[in-house]
Structure 1
Amino acid sequence: MSNALPLPKYHQIYLVLREQLHEGAFADGLPGEFALMEQFSVARITVRRALQQLATEGLITREPGRGTRPSGTTPQSATMAAGAAEGTQQAHLTGLLENLVTMGLRTSVKVLEVQTVTASNAVAGALQIAVGDAVQKAVRIRTTREGPLSHITTYVPADVARKFGRRELARKPILLLLEESGVHVGRAHQTISAKLADAVVAKHLDVAVGSALLAVRRLIYDDQERPIQWLHGLYRPDRYEYQMQLSRVGSIDAKVWVSKEMSAQFH
Protein backbone atom coordinates (compact mmCIF):
# COMPACT_ATOMS: atom_id res chain seq x y z
CA MET A 1 0.00 0.00 0.00
CA SER A 2 1.07 3.61 -0.51
CA ASN A 3 2.22 5.21 2.72
CA ALA A 4 2.16 8.63 1.05
CA LEU A 5 -1.65 8.71 0.95
CA PRO A 6 -3.23 10.37 4.02
CA LEU A 7 -5.70 7.49 4.37
CA PRO A 8 -5.87 4.49 6.72
CA LYS A 9 -4.78 1.27 5.03
CA TYR A 10 -8.21 -0.29 5.34
CA HIS A 11 -9.74 2.68 3.51
CA GLN A 12 -7.18 2.42 0.69
CA ILE A 13 -8.12 -1.27 0.26
CA TYR A 14 -11.81 -0.35 0.38
CA LEU A 15 -11.34 2.25 -2.39
CA VAL A 16 -9.42 -0.13 -4.65
CA LEU A 17 -11.97 -2.93 -4.24
CA ARG A 18 -14.88 -0.52 -4.69
CA GLU A 19 -13.49 0.69 -8.02
CA GLN A 20 -13.02 -2.88 -9.20
CA LEU A 21 -16.58 -3.74 -8.18
CA HIS A 22 -17.90 -0.73 -10.08
CA GLU A 23 -16.08 -1.98 -13.18
CA GLY A 24 -17.77 -5.37 -12.97
CA ALA A 25 -14.88 -7.36 -11.51
CA PHE A 26 -15.29 -10.38 -9.21
CA ALA A 27 -18.25 -11.91 -11.06
CA ASP A 28 -17.21 -15.24 -9.54
CA GLY A 29 -16.66 -13.80 -6.09
CA LEU A 30 -14.05 -11.70 -4.32
CA PRO A 31 -10.69 -13.17 -3.30
CA GLY A 32 -10.58 -14.67 0.19
CA GLU A 33 -9.30 -12.76 3.19
CA PHE A 34 -5.89 -14.44 3.11
CA ALA A 35 -5.46 -13.68 -0.59
CA LEU A 36 -6.30 -10.02 0.05
CA MET A 37 -3.89 -9.95 3.01
CA GLU A 38 -1.11 -11.14 0.70
CA GLN A 39 -2.09 -8.81 -2.14
CA PHE A 40 -2.12 -5.67 0.00
CA SER A 41 0.51 -6.76 2.56
CA VAL A 42 -1.73 -6.02 5.54
CA ALA A 43 -3.13 -7.81 8.58
CA ARG A 44 -6.39 -9.73 8.52
CA ILE A 45 -8.18 -7.16 10.69
CA THR A 46 -7.39 -4.49 8.08
CA VAL A 47 -8.88 -6.58 5.27
CA ARG A 48 -11.97 -7.36 7.34
CA ARG A 49 -12.54 -3.69 8.07
CA ALA A 50 -12.36 -2.84 4.35
CA LEU A 51 -14.81 -5.65 3.48
CA GLN A 52 -17.14 -4.53 6.24
CA GLN A 53 -17.24 -1.02 4.74
CA LEU A 54 -18.17 -2.49 1.35
CA ALA A 55 -20.85 -4.64 2.96
CA THR A 56 -22.26 -1.67 4.87
CA GLU A 57 -22.67 0.20 1.58
CA GLY A 58 -24.47 -2.80 0.08
CA LEU A 59 -21.78 -3.46 -2.54
CA ILE A 60 -20.99 -7.00 -1.39
CA THR A 61 -22.68 -9.84 0.47
CA ARG A 62 -20.78 -12.11 2.87
CA GLU A 63 -22.13 -15.56 3.64
CA PRO A 64 -20.34 -18.16 5.82
CA GLY A 65 -19.21 -21.06 3.68
CA ARG A 66 -20.10 -19.29 0.42
CA GLY A 67 -17.57 -16.49 0.41
CA THR A 68 -17.94 -12.86 -0.56
CA ARG A 69 -19.78 -11.83 -3.72
CA PRO A 70 -20.81 -8.59 -5.44
CA SER A 71 -24.35 -7.55 -4.59
CA GLY A 72 -25.02 -6.19 -8.07
CA THR A 73 -25.31 -2.59 -6.86
CA THR A 74 -23.18 -0.33 -9.06
CA PRO A 75 -23.49 3.48 -9.08
CA GLN A 76 -21.71 3.83 -12.41
CA SER A 77 -23.63 3.13 -15.60
CA ALA A 78 -22.28 2.28 -19.01
CA THR A 79 -23.82 5.50 -20.28
CA MET A 80 -21.76 7.61 -17.91
CA ALA A 81 -18.67 5.56 -18.65
CA ALA A 82 -19.17 6.34 -22.30
CA GLY A 83 -19.25 10.02 -21.45
CA ALA A 84 -22.95 10.63 -21.98
CA ALA A 85 -23.46 12.41 -18.67
CA GLU A 86 -24.89 15.87 -19.19
CA GLY A 87 -22.33 18.63 -19.01
CA THR A 88 -19.28 16.48 -19.82
CA GLN A 89 -16.72 18.39 -21.87
CA GLN A 90 -16.44 17.08 -25.42
CA ALA A 91 -12.89 17.23 -26.72
CA HIS A 92 -12.31 18.70 -30.15
CA LEU A 93 -10.32 16.72 -32.67
CA THR A 94 -7.95 19.58 -33.36
CA GLY A 95 -4.97 19.09 -31.09
CA LEU A 96 -6.29 16.19 -29.01
CA LEU A 97 -6.20 13.28 -31.43
CA GLU A 98 -3.18 14.64 -33.25
CA ASN A 99 -1.44 14.88 -29.89
CA LEU A 100 -2.42 11.29 -29.06
CA VAL A 101 -0.88 10.03 -32.29
CA THR A 102 2.28 12.05 -31.61
CA MET A 103 2.51 10.57 -28.14
CA GLY A 104 2.11 7.10 -29.60
CA LEU A 105 4.99 7.69 -31.98
CA ARG A 106 7.25 9.12 -29.25
CA THR A 107 6.78 6.34 -26.72
CA SER A 108 7.50 2.63 -26.75
CA VAL A 109 4.74 0.11 -26.21
CA LYS A 110 4.51 -3.39 -24.78
CA VAL A 111 1.45 -5.40 -25.75
CA LEU A 112 0.26 -7.48 -22.80
CA GLU A 113 -2.88 -8.94 -24.31
CA VAL A 114 -4.87 -9.00 -27.54
CA GLN A 115 -7.90 -11.23 -27.83
CA THR A 116 -11.41 -11.35 -29.20
CA VAL A 117 -13.96 -11.32 -26.40
CA THR A 118 -17.71 -10.93 -26.09
CA ALA A 119 -18.95 -7.44 -25.24
CA SER A 120 -20.04 -6.92 -21.64
CA ASN A 121 -22.96 -4.65 -20.77
CA ALA A 122 -20.62 -1.69 -20.30
CA VAL A 123 -18.66 -2.27 -23.51
CA ALA A 124 -21.80 -2.90 -25.54
CA GLY A 125 -23.40 0.26 -24.17
CA ALA A 126 -20.39 2.39 -25.06
CA LEU A 127 -19.86 0.96 -28.55
CA GLN A 128 -23.60 0.79 -29.28
CA ILE A 129 -23.54 -2.90 -30.10
CA ALA A 130 -25.37 -5.91 -28.68
CA VAL A 131 -24.24 -7.60 -25.48
CA GLY A 132 -22.21 -10.65 -26.52
CA ASP A 133 -21.04 -9.21 -29.84
CA ALA A 134 -17.38 -9.81 -30.66
CA VAL A 135 -14.88 -7.06 -29.80
CA GLN A 136 -11.10 -6.87 -29.83
CA LYS A 137 -9.69 -6.24 -26.36
CA ALA A 138 -6.10 -5.01 -26.22
CA VAL A 139 -4.03 -4.18 -23.14
CA ARG A 140 -0.81 -2.24 -23.57
CA ILE A 141 1.82 -0.46 -21.48
CA ARG A 142 3.35 2.75 -22.85
CA THR A 143 6.80 3.79 -21.67
CA THR A 144 9.00 6.87 -21.97
CA ARG A 145 12.70 7.20 -21.24
CA GLU A 146 11.77 7.83 -17.61
CA GLY A 147 9.90 4.54 -17.28
CA PRO A 148 6.31 3.25 -17.55
CA LEU A 149 3.77 5.92 -18.40
CA SER A 150 0.35 4.34 -18.90
CA HIS A 151 -1.73 1.17 -18.75
CA ILE A 152 -4.19 1.24 -21.66
CA THR A 153 -7.12 -1.07 -22.37
CA THR A 154 -9.01 -0.61 -25.64
CA TYR A 155 -12.17 -2.19 -27.04
CA VAL A 156 -12.82 -2.11 -30.80
CA PRO A 157 -15.69 -3.83 -32.67
CA ALA A 158 -14.33 -7.04 -34.20
CA ASP A 159 -15.29 -6.06 -37.74
CA VAL A 160 -13.31 -2.82 -37.39
CA ALA A 161 -10.26 -4.50 -35.83
CA ARG A 162 -10.03 -7.41 -38.27
CA LYS A 163 -7.04 -5.90 -40.12
CA PHE A 164 -4.72 -5.50 -37.13
CA GLY A 165 -3.58 -7.55 -34.18
CA ARG A 166 -0.74 -7.91 -31.67
CA ARG A 167 2.09 -7.30 -34.14
CA GLU A 168 0.53 -4.15 -35.60
CA LEU A 169 -0.44 -2.78 -32.16
CA ALA A 170 3.17 -3.14 -31.04
CA ARG A 171 4.35 -1.01 -33.97
CA LYS A 172 1.82 1.79 -34.47
CA PRO A 173 -0.71 3.91 -32.51
CA ILE A 174 -4.18 2.41 -32.74
CA LEU A 175 -5.61 5.57 -34.35
CA LEU A 176 -3.24 5.15 -37.27
CA LEU A 177 -4.20 1.49 -37.56
CA LEU A 178 -7.87 2.44 -37.62
CA GLU A 179 -7.31 4.94 -40.42
CA GLU A 180 -5.21 2.44 -42.36
CA SER A 181 -8.14 0.04 -42.03
CA GLY A 182 -10.35 2.53 -43.84
CA VAL A 183 -11.93 4.22 -40.83
CA HIS A 184 -12.44 7.97 -41.04
CA VAL A 185 -12.08 9.25 -37.49
CA GLY A 186 -14.67 11.88 -36.67
CA ARG A 187 -14.66 12.98 -33.04
CA ALA A 188 -13.75 11.96 -29.51
CA HIS A 189 -15.60 12.17 -26.21
CA GLN A 190 -13.41 12.04 -23.13
CA THR A 191 -13.76 12.02 -19.36
CA ILE A 192 -10.90 12.49 -16.92
CA SER A 193 -10.98 11.43 -13.29
CA ALA A 194 -8.77 9.71 -10.72
CA LYS A 195 -8.33 6.10 -9.68
CA LEU A 196 -6.25 4.10 -7.22
CA ALA A 197 -3.84 1.51 -8.58
CA ASP A 198 -4.74 -2.11 -7.95
CA ALA A 199 -2.11 -4.82 -7.63
CA VAL A 200 -1.96 -5.63 -11.37
CA VAL A 201 -1.71 -2.04 -12.62
CA ALA A 202 0.67 -1.05 -9.81
CA LYS A 203 3.12 -3.74 -10.90
CA HIS A 204 3.09 -2.65 -14.54
CA LEU A 205 3.42 1.07 -13.76
CA ASP A 206 6.01 0.55 -11.02
CA VAL A 207 3.98 2.29 -8.30
CA ALA A 208 2.64 1.20 -4.93
CA VAL A 209 -0.79 -0.42 -4.66
CA GLY A 210 -3.25 2.33 -3.79
CA SER A 211 -1.29 5.09 -5.54
CA ALA A 212 -3.38 7.77 -7.24
CA LEU A 213 -3.50 7.59 -11.05
CA LEU A 214 -4.99 9.80 -13.72
CA ALA A 215 -7.91 7.87 -15.23
CA VAL A 216 -9.04 8.65 -18.79
CA ARG A 217 -12.00 7.17 -20.64
CA ARG A 218 -12.17 8.07 -24.30
CA LEU A 219 -14.79 7.10 -26.87
CA ILE A 220 -13.78 7.59 -30.51
CA TYR A 221 -16.40 7.96 -33.25
CA ASP A 222 -16.00 7.75 -37.00
CA ASP A 223 -17.35 10.41 -39.35
CA GLN A 224 -20.68 8.54 -39.48
CA GLU A 225 -21.07 8.84 -35.68
CA ARG A 226 -20.37 5.15 -35.08
CA PRO A 227 -18.34 4.40 -31.93
CA ILE A 228 -15.19 2.60 -33.07
CA GLN A 229 -12.97 2.54 -30.00
CA TRP A 230 -13.50 2.70 -26.24
CA LEU A 231 -10.36 3.33 -24.24
CA HIS A 232 -9.63 3.02 -20.53
CA GLY A 233 -6.30 4.65 -19.70
CA LEU A 234 -4.47 4.83 -16.37
CA TYR A 235 -1.55 7.26 -16.27
CA ARG A 236 1.15 8.03 -13.74
CA PRO A 237 0.45 11.66 -12.72
CA ASP A 238 4.17 12.34 -12.20
CA ARG A 239 4.80 11.60 -15.88
CA TYR A 240 1.62 12.74 -17.59
CA GLU A 241 -0.60 15.82 -17.49
CA TYR A 242 -3.35 17.48 -19.50
CA GLN A 243 -3.23 21.13 -20.47
CA MET A 244 -6.20 23.12 -21.77
CA GLN A 245 -6.36 26.61 -23.20
CA LEU A 246 -9.52 28.50 -22.15
CA SER A 247 -11.02 31.74 -23.43
CA ARG A 248 -14.00 33.70 -22.16
CA VAL A 249 -17.03 34.30 -24.37
CA GLY A 250 -20.13 36.39 -23.81
CA SER A 251 -20.66 39.59 -21.85
CA ILE A 252 -19.25 40.39 -18.43
CA ASP A 253 -22.58 39.25 -16.96
CA ALA A 254 -22.15 35.78 -18.42
CA LYS A 255 -18.67 34.53 -17.66
CA VAL A 256 -18.46 31.41 -19.77
CA TRP A 257 -15.17 29.71 -20.47
CA VAL A 258 -14.74 27.48 -23.51
CA SER A 259 -11.83 25.24 -24.47
CA LYS A 260 -9.74 26.24 -27.45
CA GLU A 261 -7.20 23.47 -27.40
CA MET A 262 -6.23 20.47 -25.31
CA SER A 263 -2.84 18.83 -25.21
CA ALA A 264 -1.23 16.03 -23.26
CA GLN A 265 2.24 16.44 -21.83
CA PHE A 266 4.34 13.47 -20.78
CA HIS A 267 7.88 13.06 -19.50
Structure 2
Amino acid sequence: MKAAYIAIHDKLKEEIDRGVWKIGERLPSERDLADEFGVSRMTLRQGITLLVEEGVLQRKVGSGTYVASTRVQEKMRGTMSFTDIIQLQGKTPSSQLLSYIRTKPNDKEVSQLNLQAGEYVVRMERVRFADNIPVVYEVASIPERLIHNVKKSDVTNHFFKTLTENGYRIGKSHQTIYARLANEQVAKHLQITKNQAILALRQVSYLEDGQPFEYVNSQYVGERFEFYLENN
Protein backbone atom coordinates (compact mmCIF):
# COMPACT_ATOMS: atom_id res chain seq x y z
CA MET A 1 0.00 0.00 0.00
CA LYS A 2 1.43 3.38 -0.99
CA ALA A 3 2.11 6.06 1.59
CA ALA A 4 -0.66 8.62 2.09
CA TYR A 5 1.42 11.54 0.82
CA ILE A 6 2.29 9.58 -2.35
CA ALA A 7 -1.40 8.89 -2.92
CA ILE A 8 -2.10 12.62 -2.57
CA HIS A 9 0.74 13.40 -5.01
CA ASP A 10 -0.62 10.92 -7.55
CA LYS A 11 -4.22 12.09 -7.24
CA LEU A 12 -3.39 15.78 -7.64
CA LYS A 13 -1.01 15.08 -10.53
CA GLU A 14 -3.71 13.04 -12.28
CA GLU A 15 -6.25 15.84 -11.80
CA ILE A 16 -3.81 18.42 -13.17
CA ASP A 17 -3.09 16.23 -16.20
CA ARG A 18 -6.84 15.91 -16.83
CA GLY A 19 -7.32 19.67 -16.60
CA VAL A 20 -9.32 19.67 -13.37
CA TRP A 21 -6.81 22.25 -12.18
CA LYS A 22 -5.79 24.63 -14.96
CA ILE A 23 -2.32 26.09 -15.56
CA GLY A 24 -1.84 29.07 -13.25
CA GLU A 25 -4.90 28.18 -11.12
CA ARG A 26 -4.67 28.45 -7.33
CA LEU A 27 -5.32 25.29 -5.35
CA PRO A 28 -7.51 25.27 -2.23
CA SER A 29 -5.79 25.93 1.07
CA GLU A 30 -3.76 23.17 2.74
CA ARG A 31 -6.41 22.99 5.47
CA ASP A 32 -9.19 22.41 2.92
CA LEU A 33 -7.17 19.87 0.94
CA ALA A 34 -6.18 18.02 4.12
CA ASP A 35 -9.86 17.79 5.06
CA GLU A 36 -10.75 16.60 1.57
CA PHE A 37 -8.13 13.83 1.65
CA GLY A 38 -8.77 12.99 5.31
CA VAL A 39 -5.13 13.43 6.33
CA SER A 40 -3.11 15.72 8.57
CA ARG A 41 -1.79 18.99 7.18
CA MET A 42 1.74 17.63 7.59
CA THR A 43 0.94 14.63 5.36
CA LEU A 44 -0.83 16.87 2.84
CA ARG A 45 2.17 19.21 2.81
CA GLN A 46 4.50 16.28 1.98
CA GLY A 47 2.49 15.48 -1.13
CA ILE A 48 2.36 19.14 -2.17
CA THR A 49 6.08 19.57 -1.59
CA LEU A 50 6.84 16.62 -3.85
CA LEU A 51 4.81 18.21 -6.66
CA VAL A 52 6.58 21.53 -6.09
CA GLU A 53 9.97 19.82 -6.34
CA GLU A 54 8.87 18.22 -9.63
CA GLY A 55 7.83 21.62 -10.97
CA VAL A 56 4.17 20.66 -11.27
CA LEU A 57 3.10 23.13 -8.58
CA GLN A 58 4.64 26.36 -7.37
CA ARG A 59 4.28 28.14 -4.05
CA LYS A 60 3.85 31.91 -3.88
CA VAL A 61 4.64 33.38 -0.49
CA GLY A 62 1.60 34.98 1.08
CA SER A 63 -0.63 33.87 -1.80
CA GLY A 64 -0.88 30.08 -1.95
CA THR A 65 -0.03 27.11 -4.16
CA TYR A 66 -0.62 27.24 -7.91
CA VAL A 67 -0.40 24.92 -10.90
CA ALA A 68 2.94 25.83 -12.48
CA SER A 69 2.55 28.06 -15.51
CA THR A 70 6.11 27.81 -16.86
CA ARG A 71 6.32 24.06 -17.43
CA VAL A 72 6.36 22.73 -21.00
CA GLN A 73 5.55 19.14 -21.94
CA GLU A 74 6.99 17.14 -24.81
CA LYS A 75 5.31 13.92 -25.86
CA MET A 76 7.99 11.34 -26.56
CA ARG A 77 6.52 10.06 -29.80
CA GLY A 78 7.35 11.21 -33.30
CA THR A 79 9.57 14.13 -34.22
CA MET A 80 8.61 17.74 -33.60
CA SER A 81 10.54 20.97 -33.56
CA PHE A 82 10.95 22.90 -30.33
CA THR A 83 8.97 25.76 -31.90
CA ASP A 84 5.98 23.48 -32.57
CA ILE A 85 6.13 22.00 -29.06
CA ILE A 86 6.10 25.43 -27.44
CA GLN A 87 3.32 26.77 -29.68
CA LEU A 88 1.14 23.73 -28.93
CA GLN A 89 1.44 24.64 -25.25
CA GLY A 90 0.03 28.09 -26.03
CA LYS A 91 3.36 29.78 -25.39
CA THR A 92 5.58 31.98 -27.54
CA PRO A 93 8.89 30.40 -28.62
CA SER A 94 12.10 32.33 -29.18
CA SER A 95 15.83 31.62 -29.40
CA GLN A 96 19.14 33.25 -28.65
CA LEU A 97 21.85 32.17 -31.09
CA LEU A 98 25.20 31.83 -29.32
CA SER A 99 27.29 30.44 -32.19
CA TYR A 100 26.88 29.16 -35.75
CA ILE A 101 29.90 27.61 -37.49
CA ARG A 102 30.79 25.43 -40.45
CA THR A 103 33.32 22.90 -39.21
CA LYS A 104 34.80 19.45 -39.59
CA PRO A 105 32.70 16.95 -37.62
CA ASN A 106 33.93 15.23 -34.50
CA ASP A 107 33.80 11.44 -34.19
CA LYS A 108 30.38 11.47 -32.53
CA GLU A 109 28.87 13.61 -35.28
CA VAL A 110 30.37 11.38 -37.98
CA SER A 111 28.85 8.33 -36.34
CA GLN A 112 25.41 9.75 -35.49
CA LEU A 113 24.92 11.54 -38.83
CA ASN A 114 26.44 8.82 -41.04
CA LEU A 115 28.83 11.30 -42.61
CA GLN A 116 31.24 10.45 -45.38
CA ALA A 117 34.93 11.39 -45.44
CA GLY A 118 35.41 15.07 -46.22
CA GLU A 119 31.87 16.14 -45.23
CA TYR A 120 31.30 19.18 -43.03
CA VAL A 121 28.65 20.01 -40.48
CA VAL A 122 27.01 23.23 -39.39
CA ARG A 123 27.04 23.37 -35.60
CA MET A 124 24.84 25.87 -33.81
CA GLU A 125 24.58 26.66 -30.13
CA ARG A 126 21.35 28.17 -28.85
CA VAL A 127 19.25 28.94 -25.80
CA ARG A 128 15.55 28.28 -26.39
CA PHE A 129 12.81 30.18 -24.58
CA ALA A 130 9.10 29.80 -23.84
CA ASP A 131 7.40 33.12 -23.07
CA ASN A 132 10.88 34.63 -22.60
CA ILE A 133 11.80 32.05 -19.92
CA PRO A 134 14.92 30.00 -20.76
CA VAL A 135 13.98 26.33 -21.06
CA VAL A 136 16.83 24.58 -22.86
CA TYR A 137 20.46 25.03 -23.87
CA GLU A 138 21.26 23.04 -27.00
CA VAL A 139 24.02 22.30 -29.46
CA ALA A 140 22.71 21.03 -32.81
CA SER A 141 24.80 19.57 -35.64
CA ILE A 142 23.47 19.37 -39.21
CA PRO A 143 25.11 17.89 -42.34
CA GLU A 144 26.17 20.88 -44.40
CA ARG A 145 25.04 19.30 -47.69
CA LEU A 146 21.41 19.56 -46.53
CA ILE A 147 21.54 23.31 -45.97
CA HIS A 148 24.39 24.66 -48.11
CA ASN A 149 21.90 26.75 -50.14
CA VAL A 150 19.74 27.75 -47.16
CA LYS A 151 19.93 31.11 -45.42
CA LYS A 152 21.36 31.08 -41.92
CA SER A 153 18.23 32.75 -40.53
CA ASP A 154 16.03 30.00 -41.97
CA VAL A 155 18.12 27.36 -40.22
CA THR A 156 18.33 29.10 -36.86
CA ASN A 157 14.71 30.29 -36.70
CA HIS A 158 12.67 27.43 -38.21
CA PHE A 159 14.88 24.57 -39.36
CA PHE A 160 12.23 21.84 -39.54
CA LYS A 161 9.85 24.07 -41.49
CA THR A 162 12.67 24.98 -43.88
CA LEU A 163 13.43 21.32 -44.53
CA THR A 164 9.83 20.50 -45.39
CA GLU A 165 9.56 23.56 -47.62
CA ASN A 166 12.60 22.28 -49.52
CA GLY A 167 10.96 18.93 -50.21
CA TYR A 168 12.28 16.85 -47.33
CA ARG A 169 9.93 14.65 -45.32
CA ILE A 170 10.68 14.34 -41.61
CA GLY A 171 10.54 10.87 -40.08
CA LYS A 172 11.38 9.34 -36.71
CA SER A 173 13.85 10.32 -34.01
CA HIS A 174 15.94 8.43 -31.45
CA GLN A 175 16.16 9.99 -28.01
CA THR A 176 18.17 9.28 -24.88
CA ILE A 177 17.35 11.12 -21.65
CA TYR A 178 19.53 11.22 -18.56
CA ALA A 179 20.17 13.37 -15.51
CA ARG A 180 23.20 15.58 -14.99
CA LEU A 181 24.34 18.70 -13.16
CA ALA A 182 24.50 22.08 -14.84
CA ASN A 183 28.00 23.42 -15.31
CA GLU A 184 28.74 27.11 -14.84
CA GLN A 185 28.26 28.01 -18.51
CA VAL A 186 24.94 26.20 -18.91
CA ALA A 187 23.67 27.50 -15.57
CA LYS A 188 24.37 31.06 -16.65
CA HIS A 189 22.52 30.64 -19.96
CA LEU A 190 19.51 28.99 -18.29
CA GLN A 191 19.45 31.39 -15.32
CA ILE A 192 19.79 28.63 -12.74
CA THR A 193 22.42 27.79 -10.13
CA LYS A 194 25.60 25.87 -10.92
CA ASN A 195 25.30 22.11 -10.21
CA GLN A 196 21.51 22.26 -10.27
CA ALA A 197 20.03 18.98 -11.49
CA ILE A 198 18.85 19.18 -15.10
CA LEU A 199 17.51 16.86 -17.80
CA ALA A 200 19.85 16.09 -20.66
CA LEU A 201 18.66 14.80 -24.04
CA ARG A 202 20.60 13.35 -26.94
CA GLN A 203 18.52 13.12 -30.10
CA VAL A 204 19.12 12.04 -33.67
CA SER A 205 16.35 13.00 -36.08
CA TYR A 206 15.82 11.26 -39.42
CA LEU A 207 14.14 11.95 -42.73
CA GLU A 208 11.56 9.46 -43.94
CA ASP A 209 14.21 7.75 -46.10
CA GLY A 210 16.23 7.00 -42.96
CA GLN A 211 18.85 9.71 -43.52
CA PRO A 212 19.85 11.46 -40.26
CA PHE A 213 19.52 15.23 -40.59
CA GLU A 214 20.20 16.54 -37.07
CA TYR A 215 22.16 15.49 -33.99
CA VAL A 216 21.30 17.50 -30.87
CA ASN A 217 22.60 17.61 -27.32
CA SER A 218 20.14 19.51 -25.13
CA GLN A 219 20.01 20.43 -21.45
CA TYR A 220 16.59 21.26 -20.00
CA VAL A 221 15.59 22.97 -16.78
CA GLY A 222 13.61 20.17 -15.13
CA GLU A 223 11.21 22.46 -13.30
CA ARG A 224 10.27 24.14 -16.60
CA PHE A 225 10.03 21.14 -18.91
CA GLU A 226 8.89 17.53 -18.75
CA PHE A 227 8.85 14.59 -21.14
CA TYR A 228 6.05 12.05 -21.18
CA LEU A 229 5.43 8.83 -23.05
CA GLU A 230 2.30 7.93 -24.98
CA ASN A 231 1.79 4.41 -26.30
CA ASN A 232 -0.95 3.29 -28.62
TM-score interval, normalised by the smaller of the two chains: 0.5 to 0.7
Identity among equivalent pairs (%): 22
Cα-Cα RMSD: 2.0
Residues of 1 paired with 2:141 and 2:156: CA distance?
16
Give the gaps of 5 or more residues in structure 2. 1-75
User: 2:150 corresponds to which residue?
Assistant: 164
Residues of 2 paired with 1:213 and 1:108: CA distance?
20
Residues of 2 paired with 1:182 and 1:140: CA distance?
25
Structure 1 residue 104 displacement after superposition: 5.1
Aligned residues: 153
Change beyond 3 A, Cα 1:109–1:116: same
Residues of 2 paired with 1:136 and 1:236: CA distance?
25
Q: Is the 8 A contact 2:205 2:212 kept in 1?
A: yes
What amino acid is the match of 2:176?
T
User: 2:60 corresponds to which residue?
Assistant: none
Q: Is the 8 A contact 2:81 2:160 kept in 1?
A: no
What amino acid is the match of 2:222?
P
Residues of 1 paired with 2:157 and 2:132: CA distance?
20
Change beyond 3 A, Cα 1:156–1:148: same
User: 2:175 corresponds to which residue?
Assistant: 190
Change beyond 3 A, Cα 1:229–1:170: closer
Displaced runs of 4 or more, over 6 A: none
Q: Is the 8 A contact 1:114 1:165 kept in 2?
A: no
Give the gaps of 5 or more residues in structure 1. 1-90, 246-258, 261-267
Change beyond 3 A, Cα 1:122–1:183: same
User: 1:238 corresponds to which residue?
Assistant: 223
TM, length-normalised to structure 1: 0.53
User: 1:206 corresponds to which residue?
Assistant: 191
Residues of 2 paired with 1:196 and 1:234: CA distance?
10
> Matched residue of 1:182: which SS?
coil
User: 2:213 corresponds to which residue?
Assistant: 228
Q: Is the 8 A contact 1:188 1:219 kept in 2?
A: yes
Residues of 2 paired with 1:214 and 1:202: CA distance?
12
Q: Among 136, 140, 143, which residue is 1:154 paired with? A: 140
User: 2:85 corresponds to which residue?
Assistant: 103
What amino acid is the match of 1:207?
I
